[in-house]
Homo-oligomer: A and B are copies of this chain.
Amino acid sequence: MTSTTSDPQRTGAGPIAPGQFAAAEARTAWRRGTGEVDDATLQRIEKFWRAANYLSVGQIYLLDNPLLRRPLSRDDVKPRLLGHWGTTPGLNFLYAHLNRAVAERQQSTIYVTGPGHGGPGLVASAYLDGTYSEVYSDITEDEEGLRRLFKQFSFPGGIPSHVAPETPGSIHEGGELGYALSHAYGAAFDNPHLLVAAVVGDGEAETGPLATSWHSNKFVNPAQDGMVLPILHLNGYKIANPTVLDRISDGELRDLMVGYGHTPHVFEAGFDDEDDLSIHRRFAVLLDEVLDEIAAIKERAAGGDLTRPMYPMIVFRTPKGWTGPAEIDGKKTTGSWRAHQVPLASARDTPEHLAVLEDWLQSYGPDELFDADGRVDDEIRALAPVGDLRMSANPHANGGLLLRDLRLPDFRDFAQDVPTPASTFAEAPRVLGEYLTEVIRRNPDNFRIFGPDETASNRLQAVYEVTAKQWNADFEGPEVDDHLERAGRVMEMLSEHQCQGWLEGYLLTGRHGLFTSYEAFIHIVDSMFNQHAKWLKVTNHIPWRRPVASLNYLLSSHVWRQDHNGFSHQDPGFIDHVVNKKAEVVRVYLPPDANTLLSTYDHCLRSRQYVNVVVSGKQPAPNFLSMDEAVAHCTRGLGIWEWAGSEAQDEEPDVVLACAGDVPTLEVLAAADILRRELPQLKVRVVNVVDLMRLQDAREHPHGLTDAEFDTIFTADRPIVFAYHGYPWLIHRLTYRRNGHANIHVRGYKEEGTTTTPFDMVMLNDLDRYHLVIDVIDHVHWARASQAGLRQRMVDARIRARQWTREHGEDIPEVRDWVWPDVGDTATEDGGPTQTRTAVADTGGDNE
């Protein structure tokens, strides 16, 4: 056969016409099988499996002598043996069989490897079908290429030991376990012609996220979405223990799967002397049966029956480390936890151990698998599908190839009218919801909103004008089923893990979306965020991986307004968590009002390869900036609000009042108002920060300011009282090398909170207007010396406000009704689409 490396059509990295690909995919989707698998095909499957196993063992152990063309010597073996064998042969088995079925049915398929530790297996399969050499041209299809393939694995400067961004065909790292099914379903949504074969490790199956992700099938539309085939890889052992699902009765396991909404098909092999062809025949027949069942579901759906079927799944019970040495040093290895990692960890220490390794490698018959030059045997290659249909080359697994820009409306069309600052009020996410409604209207098949039962609570309910929550469990009727339909752009399940996992799968296969959640509970996915950020960071440096849409968070139930919920719902630390990751992939925005939120989100939806964290409260709050001002402000990322300050032209201010976040902005403006009235001789500069990364040094973050820019805005030597949305230290961290850093005094959340009124909450944390004024007095030398009276009045105002809330259960009127003084009482006269703050305050309509 000809080398595939010269065929650009076959590479996942080459130019691709998404429309053409989709049309080809649709033409052959969901074909039935032929119903028979001949012995020749079974032999090809067997050979592919054998070759993949050989290449896997080779990667783990060999530094040289890749084809065993000479006796194995100690120096051929890597000095440090790092990798995981246990799950690998099972993954290879499944890949080989899927290859057969994909080729026969021409069914576009991707392979999600839950047990991502089995990295060598996926690399092996991608090498066998030719993809690997296409994307990595130095890993050639000959003996030297094999040597490089082996050496690079889990080796300094080489590739990771897990399935990783470096692995062609993967959208799933699998180092941190639990997300295989969520990723698989995310990939399947809106890909009606795609089959996602998702291998679930039985260790992984013990994690919480995986345990609930089986229920994803209640959120699938069988017509518009693709199909997920879960395969439970029940090999029985983890690092040092059996797995729970392997040690319950067959009946319980079957019931569990039925309870999850699946029809289980149980396959067991490798525990007796059954010959390989017989095993392969049984599995091929079973796989055909399952794929035909899926095809039947698709047919019924195409015929209009969208009710949730019982989806098939496979229980794949095989020995851990299957085909490896049965025993090592007299201890059972294959079929035990001892096969989890490197079963023969001492291959270099004695000739006997070296012989075990050599026998093991020879058991796969490498001479039958590769020709004299080391090229993969034609029969093996012939098993796999060709071109984009190879699971390692399927464009869905390199989503940037298929990514289409969103058709975005002009966000300016949704602007809030702001005749003068803080004269109108809005719930910013509600306004964003109107914009997103139009986004959904224009992008009916590649944009989704994910959230744990909180889309309306987070004020995006306008989107229900054009879409619904997708749901495919039972319905009860419109009286109680609120915007619930079998197809819709909003995905709600009460699991942050599911929302994040679905969205990741959706993005990595080339689509767009956002995740709206409570700020405190987004910590639930801290670890998933880590993995996604790492994925993006690594893919930025892999040329054949194309950029994907950013992962956008909207955290609108934030720390400062947890009226129904209190202390357990207060935590602004996700931002701190996020900024630990590489600057090249994270962005944090704190738009202070509705227009800045619109501008920010437009930017986020156009961006690529970032994680964008946007925090914007859902409670009624003043609009500060007109749309033109908002665009300018967001473009700068931060700026001086001259209208709010009291500095004269050509003069340095006495003090800078800085703010980041909506609630801090309100308090800073109220403090500035007090200072204008009470201390008119004080020159106050008000600075607002939208893009938090602007505070960092330009050398540390691409959005960072130079020191000169920073000094121009914040001054080099004046006191800066900084009211910040989150934990105060982050501001210090971002600015600690700035000239004025010793003058920065930050007020933020200090883990003091309980159920209170809004102002009581900011008072508890010393972020309130009165305290900010006190801070200013304390830090401006001449004011400190002369303003004891004003300071005392501020202390009294706090005490009065506190007493009021304790008695009345709501904020003191002077706070509740405060508006920016330039505009007097117009707030309550505004009868436009935006509710005034007072009108909304009493409704208690704040869900959850």
Which A residues form the contact surface with B (CB < 8 A)? 63, 78-84, 151, 154-162, 164, 173, 175-178, 203-204, 206-213, 215, 218, 237-244, 247-249, 251-261, 331-332, 335-337, 340-342, 345-346, 348-349, 453-457, 469, 471, 473-476, 479-482, 484, 492-498, 520-521, 523-524, 526-527, 530-531, 534, 537-538, 563-569, 571, 573, 576-577, 580-582, 727, 729, 732-733, 736, 741, 751, 754-757, 760, 802, 805-806, 808-810, 842-848
Contacts and interface: CB of A to CB of B under 8 A. Distances in A.
Given A238-B453, A576-B576, A755-B160, A479 B209 contact: no
Contacts of A212: 206-208, 210-212
Contacts of A456: 239-240
16 contacts: A84-B564, A156-B806, A160-B565, A160-B568, A160-B754, A208-B211, A208-B213, A240-B847, A241-B482, A241-B492, A244-B493, A332-B480, A345-B843, A348-B842, A349-B842, A538-B567
Contacts of A809: 63, 78-80, 151, 155-156
A interface secondary structure, majority: loop
A530 B520 contact: yes
* A178, A208, A249 interface centre (most CB from chain B within 10 Å): A208
Contact of A80 (B469, B496, B757): B757
A735 to B, nearest CB: 9
* A484, A527, A569 interface centre (most CB from chain B within 10 Å): A527
Contacts of A335: 480
A240 B340 contact: no
* A210, A249, A257, A580 interface centre (most CB from chain B within 10 Å): A580
Nearest to A203: B494
A332 B568 CA distance: 30
A588 B809 CA distance: 39
A206 B349 CA distance: 51
A555 to B, nearest CB: 14
A844 B80 contact: yes
Contacts of A523: 526-527, 530, 577
A534 B844 contact: no
Contacts of A741: 736
A206 B80 CA distance: 43
Contact of A844 (B157, B209, B342): B342
Contact of A259 (B151, B252, B471): B252
Given A208-B497, A257-B259, A755-B158, A580 B576 contact: yes
Given A453-B240, A530-B523, A577-B576, A341 B473 contact: no
A239 B161 contact: no
A485 to B, nearest CB: 12
Nearest to A805: B156
A493 B206 CA distance: 7
B480 A340 contact: no
Given A203-B453, A218-B244, A257-B259, A565 B175 contact: yes
Nearest to A764: B156
Given A161-B755, A453-B203, A843-B346, A238 B526 contact: no
A361 to B, nearest CB: 17
Nearest to A155: B809
A747 to B, nearest CB: 15
A526 B530 CA distance: 12
A848 B203 CA distance: 12
A252 B247 contact: no
A240 B494 contact: no
A566 B755 contact: no
B844 A82 contact: yes
B157 A568 contact: no
Contact of A81 (B240, B471, B573, B844): B844
Contacts of A176: 520-521, 524, 568-569
Given A337-B482, A755-B155, A208 B209 contact: yes
Contact of A207 (B82, B206, B494): B494
B175 A480 contact: no
Nearest to A166: B754
A17 B500 CA distance: 49
B530 A242 contact: no
Contacts of A497: 207-208
A340 B847 contact: yes
Given A206-B494, A566-B162, A755-B158, A345 B218 contact: no
A183 to B, nearest CB: 14
Contacts of A341: 564, 844, 846-848
Contacts of A79: 808-810, 842
A684 B349 CA distance: 42
A764 to B, nearest CB: 10
Contacts of A845: 345
A441 to B, nearest CB: 22
Given A161-B566, A243-B494, A736-B741, 14 more contacts: A80-B809, A82-B563, A156-B756, A178-B208, A203-B453, A208-B495, A211-B211, A239-B457, A239-B848, A240-B454, A240-B455, A241-B484, A255-B256, A576-B577
Contacts of A159: 755
A847 B82 contact: no
Nearest to A346: B843
Which 9 pairs across A and B sit closest by C-beta, in order of nearness?
A256-B259, A175-B568, A208-B208, A247-B473, A345-B844, A211-B212, A211-B211, A523-B527, A255-B259
A482 B240 contact: yes
Contacts of A178: 208
A616 to B, nearest CB: 19
A240 B259 CA distance: 24
A492 B346 CA distance: 27
Contacts of A260: 256, 259
Nearest to A562: B175
Contacts of A63: 809
A498 B206 CA distance: 9
Given A261-B248, A569-B175, A480 B582 contact: no
B241 A566 contact: no
Contacts of A242: 471, 473, 476, 480-481, 484
Nearest to A63: B809
A209 B521 CA distance: 13
A741 to B, nearest CB: 8
A526 B529 CA distance: 12
A372 to B, nearest CB: 28
Nearest to A535: B568
Contact of A160 (B248, B566, B847): B566
Contacts of A349: 842
Contacts of A243: 494
A463 B732 CA distance: 44
Nearest to A82: B564
A83 B349 CA distance: 67
B474 A248 contact: yes
Contacts of A241: 453, 469, 471, 482, 484, 492
A261 B209 CA distance: 19
Contacts of A337: 480, 482
Given A207-B212, A571-B530, A238 B565 contact: no
A218 B336 contact: no
A570 to B, nearest CB: 8
A454 B568 CA distance: 30
Contacts of A844: 80-82, 341-342, 345-346
